[in-house]
Amino acid sequence: MKDRRSDILFFFGVSLALWIAYSVRDVLMLIYVSALFAVVLSPAIGVIQKIRFGSWRPGRGFAIIFLFLVLVLLGTVFMVFAFPPIYRDAHQFSADWPRHLADLSEEVRHLPFGNKVDPTALEKYATEIVGGAGGLFLNLAGGIFGIFTAIILTAYFTIDGDRTLNWAVSLFPLDQQQRLARTLHRAEQRMRNWLLGQLIMMCALGLCAGVAYYALGLRYFYILALYAGISDIIPIAGPISAVALSGTVAALDSPEKVFGVIVFHAIYVQFEAAFLSPRIMRSTLKLSPLAVIVALSLGGSLAGVVGALVSVPTAALVLVLADEYLVKKPRATAAAAD
């Protein structure tokens, strides 16, 4: 009877904890994102601490302050120089897209089987999509307080991350703590490598696309280049969608621009596969494209844009834990039995 009461209390305690976690899921997501950023920034602090000016060497506190000042400076430069043209192109694109789509649908109606296309329905769908994108921008703009909170949390995780990790590991049985700590450190390294590598790849595609679209004289090239860089996080489907969107915009002007867009992306794919990817992503955790797409779908469904951003690093963490506790342990047991 005593054990049964303990089981009942444990069940209700876990249920209560899950209900509380679901109620404050937005706050937990903010904490988790801040921890991920701290994981990425930690090596940069070590690099700054290695800098010497004569006999003076910066301490950890100075390195953290200096790093955050550099990030604030880069963010300010982006907001001053890059954000205004991106916002202008996004606003103009949202205003012109329904009309352009209706014009394209009229062109399609002259093709075989094109008479089945309904321009009014396409214009309605385009307006809804752009309206949803506009709502997304408004939601992001309304989360300024959350951004500042994330910055503060990231600073604290960067300063006190090791102590927090050791405290979390200490909650587990003593004979499992050392193994769990090693596994989490390995997962941290691989998550960091993936995040940094993927960020470099996305920036490279965005910058190259911006230069190519500008040279082609493509309209809305700022927002199209931004979309191309962001979509690169999705294997295969992301770059294809970027080609489809930029090609559709190019088709509003001339077939030559469509050909130029296709040629650029074909050349970039070869350059990325032969040069960039082997050098940037060679030390990252190898996730299959299917695993990345599934993780992005689940993360986006559970927590929207933020969930999609943290889904793949979380999948990397889960994969490392599964490899340690579900693959290695049965393998070791089988070897001992032999």
- Written as one letter, the residue type at 232 is D
Q: What pLDDT is recorded for position 208? A: 93
- Written as one letter, the residue type at 211 is V
Q: What pLDDT is recorded for position 336? A: 52
Domain ranges of the chain: 26-94+112-171, 175-338
Are 219 and 249 a contacting pair, CB within 8 Å? Answer: yes
What are the residues facing 98 on neighbouring strands? none
Q: What pLDDT is recorded for position 215? A: 93
pLDDT in tens, the chain (338 residues): 556 777 777 788 888 888 888 888 778 888 888 888 888 788 788 788 888 877 788 887 788 888 888 888 887 887 788 778 877 777 777 777 666 666 666 665 665 554 555 555 545 544 444 444 444 444 444 455 666 777 788 878 887 777 888 888 888 888 888 888 888 888 888 888 777 888 888 899 999 999 999 999 988 888 889 888 888 877 777 788 889 888 888 888 888 999 999 999 999 988 887 787 777 765 555 667 777 778 877 877 777 767 777 787 888 888 888 888 887 755 555 555 55
> Could you give the CA distance from residue 84 to residue 207 in angstroms, rounded to a whole number?
17
Q: What is the pTM of this model?
A: 0.69
The residues near 241 (Cβ < 8 Å, ≥ 6 apart) are 231, 234
Are 190 and 285 a contacting pair, CB within 8 Å? Answer: yes
> Could you give the CA distance from residue 207 to residue 113 in angstroms, rounded to a whole number?
39
